[in-house]
Amino acid sequence: MRESHSDIMARLYGRALNDKWDRACRNITFQVTENCNACCTYCYQTHKTKKRMPWEVGKAIADYLFRMWDEDDPSAFISRDTKSLILDFIGGEPLLEIELIDRICDYFWHEAVKRDGCLWGDTFRISMISNGLLYFGKPVQDFIKKYKDRLSFAITIDGPKEMHDACRILADGSGTWAAANAAQKHYHNAYGGYLGTKVTISPDNLIYLNKTFRYFVDNGYEEFHANPIFEHEWTPYESKEYYKQLCLIADDMLSQSKYGAISTSLFDEQFFVPIPETDLTPWCGGTGLMMAFDPDGKAYPCLRYMESSLNGEQEPICVGDCFTGAYLKQEHIDIRKWLSAMNRRTSCDDECFYCPIAKGCASCAAWNYQKYGTPDKKDKGICWMHRARSLANAYYWNQKWVREGSTKRMPILLEREHALQIVGEKELKVLTSLAEV
């Protein structure tokens, strides 16, 4: 998989920053609108409004970022240790506010190059994910042409029409695949845009997952990420289907060289083992490693702590604003201490902490907060899907290594009682046999 911009910055500057390597690159989210022109069934933003960010707020956010750099306070979210920023523009649908985004980026770049010693003018990146419905508009095309060398842009497409349109729909129930597909193809052909996407797996589209994989390979995609939604309580029955779909993908990857060329996060040989008890690193950056601003300029540790996501289920976790600053009031300082004190041990019960396949099991701190009232309690809603994925990975990697003549093997570490709820006794024996050298 491609090295992310954050990882590049950490690699280049992390050694000099020692234990502050995560400060080398900061992700700043601008929620430029809560509005969206689609009605995707699995969207976590369940409280959208027509609210949009005024220019004065966008400018004030940029000014605040530079104010932190100028003041160079080691305890602030940004200081001169911060060598790069990722300006992440979201909605709703961000392209609804493309003129505002363009103006913010122009202003940020102009201010960055004015400062001696500030690397941001050379290193900043722009990140945006769109549903593609407004992609062909002139303002969007002008923006992409201007910033294509700094832009990480993706059209969210879940695969072939039946997979995509199962969830990604308009208000009248019609699908959005045709528009998304046309936009993705044009972006790749016209700008050399990277062909990659992130697939959201829900109960409504799970049965199409193998078709999705084939679609991406046949259409020249280089990689795709995929993950089950956190907001659903996945069941053993659904994990069986997930295992089946993953094994069909594995069979394709093993049988034809063209299917083995694509990189997918569904299969990772480093996962599905215990995490050392000394490794307390939380999965999610929503514990204080990010900063997001809503259309009013209020600051949050992550966009999912905003009302647009929480929808009245919990109080939003606001930590300041772009005008006066973030983490300045005592209540906000206490929130930062609270978030930064969280780790894998504090958020996991014993079942999770000592899980034999814990590595690679995802968690969303803000979703934990939405469900339990604290981000420091890991939700277990995706456990069955992670268990199914561990078995499917053993199925794939061990066959691959046998064919290559390698002695490497992925052990079956999932508890037998859980494995037998996903696969039968006969299938488990096959998987166990494959895992033996």
Q: How far apart are CA 353 and CA 213, in angstroms?
A: 32
Q: How far apart are CA 422 and CA 306, in angstroms?
A: 37
Q: Work out the average pLDDT over 206-224.
A: 89
Mean predicted lDDT score pLDDT of the chain? 92
- Please, what sign has the CA dihedral across residues 237, 243, 245, 247? negative
* SS3 state at 298: strand
Split at pLDDT 50, 70, 90, the class of 122 is very high
Beta bridge mates, 199: 226
How high is the pLDDT of residue 206?
96
E strand or H helix at 112: helix 98-113
Enter the pTM of the model.
0.91
Query: Other C-beta atoms within 10 Å of 185: how many?
Result: 16
How high is the pLDDT of residue 24?
83
Pick the more confident residue, 219 or 275.
275
CB 309 within 8 A of CB 47: yes
What pLDDT, in 10s, does the model give residues 368-393? 999 999 999 999 999 999 999 999 99
How high is the pLDDT of residue 20?
52
Split at pLDDT 50, 70, 90, the class of 3 is low
* SS3 state at 24: coil
How high is the pLDDT of residue 314?
97
How high is the pLDDT of residue 75?
82
How high is the pLDDT of residue 14?
65
Residue 246 has pLDDT above 70, yes or no: yes
Maximum mean pLDDT: which of 8-12, 141-145, 255-259:
141-145
How high is the pLDDT of residue 339?
92
Query: Other C-beta atoms within 10 Å of 117: how many?
Result: 6
DSSP secondary structure of 118-155: --HHHH-EEEEEE-STTTTSHHHHHHHHHHTTTEEEEE
Q: Which of 163, 153, 213 is nearest to 183 (CA)?
A: 153
% of the chain at pLDDT higher than 70: 96
**Six-digit token string for 3:** 């090295």
Split at pLDDT 50, 70, 90, the class of 285 is confident
CATH class of 1-194+288-341: alpha beta
Q: How far apart are CA 251 and CA 168, in angstroms?
A: 28
Split at pLDDT 50, 70, 90, the class of 261 is confident
How high is the pLDDT of residue 284?
85
Residue 109 has pLDDT above 60, yes or no: yes
How high is the pLDDT of residue 2?
66
How high is the pLDDT of residue 141?
98
E strand or H helix at 295: none
What pLDDT, in 10s, does the model give residues 327-369? 999 999 999 999 999 999 999 999 999 999 999 999 999 999 9
Split at pLDDT 50, 70, 90, the class of 8 is confident
CB 369 within 8 A of CB 347: no
Domain ranges of the chain: 1-194+288-341
How high is the pLDDT of residue 74?
85
Q: Work out the average pLDDT over 408-420.
A: 97
Instruction: Give the gyration radius of the chain's Cα atoms.
Output: 22
Q: How far apart are CA 77 and CA 66, in angstroms?
A: 12
Q: How far apart are CA 145 and CA 264, in angstroms?
A: 29
Q: How far apart are CA 213 and CA 357, in angstroms?
A: 25
